[in-house]
Structure 1
């Protein structure tokens, strides 16, 4: 592990919410935070509507691929943010766990995904402020 704080975003398919959150944290964190994302049952590809929604705010997540959640990914992260994956996330004492209750963008149109994206951005900005006090995103 590095001296930087590390965050793992987890959702079921690692195709929408967790990919958008990782995109925001990579962009807004500007290299100050190590970012990972994974899913308990990864999809074949990132949700195209999530990609479109993120492009609208200048963040390109089109090259990302859904990844399987592993115990090592959790073990190597300081903070694990779950988004609807329930009990499938391994638990390790000493880790900080957050559960963000967010609508699933799967099967939704762009108009329904925008508010989800915007709420994820708000929460990511708050998380950055908690992990790196005094350095607002």
Structure 2
């Protein structure tokens, strides 16, 4: 059985999808292989995202902002799950990728859009990474290797419904 291959997509591929890719690769060693991409990549990883990962002890080597174009066509790695992480509540357009995989949406505010003091920006990235980690821990609890597409889709959609409030009430 190959690792479950997960692609995280957002618009810029500089923060949320990068945080998701690196964290799942770190936590899901062997079981999961994570990637990230953007519909309009910025071309660079947000330094605050790299700082959040480093603070959590998660390797950042090799992370890059890239187009989703590399995940279509004959040379693309086969995917099992595609997760959009844009914030549809903020009317941010979510990219759509077509293929034979399970799709889900785990919307969350873009910490790269945070403004204010360095402390406020750091807090936005910390909060985003905490929610991403919470959702990824729920993913790791799923028996993805034996799940059919429909039950997996329902479970993934349920994970996407987890909010920061859920995280804080569990703390």
Same fold (TM over 0.5): yes
The number of residues matched between the two structures is 131
Secondary structure at the aligned position of 2:9 is classed as strand
- What's the CA shift for 1:26? 0.6
- What's the CA shift for 1:19? 0.5
Match of 1:27 in 2: 26
Runs of 4+ in 1 over 6 A off after TM superposition: none
TM-score by length of 1: 0.84
Secondary structure at the aligned position of 1:106 is classed as helix
Secondary structure at the aligned position of 2:111 is classed as coil
Which residues of structure 2 form unaligned runs of 5+?
A: 87-91, 115-120, 147-171
Which residues of structure 1 form unaligned runs of 5+?
A: none
Bigger relative contact order (CA 8 A; separation at least 6)? 1
Alignment of structure 1 residues 46-125 onto 2, 5 Å? 46-61=45-60, 63-70=62-69, 71-72=71-72, 76-84=78-86, 86-92=93-99, 94-108=100-114, 109-125=121-137
Query: Is the helix fraction higher in 1 or 2?
Result: 2
RMSD of the TM alignment (CA)? Answer: 2.2
Alpha-carbon separation, structure 1, partners of 2:3 and 2:77? 15
Q: Which has the larger radius of gyration?
A: 2
Alpha-carbon separation, structure 1, partners of 2:127 and 2:15? 13
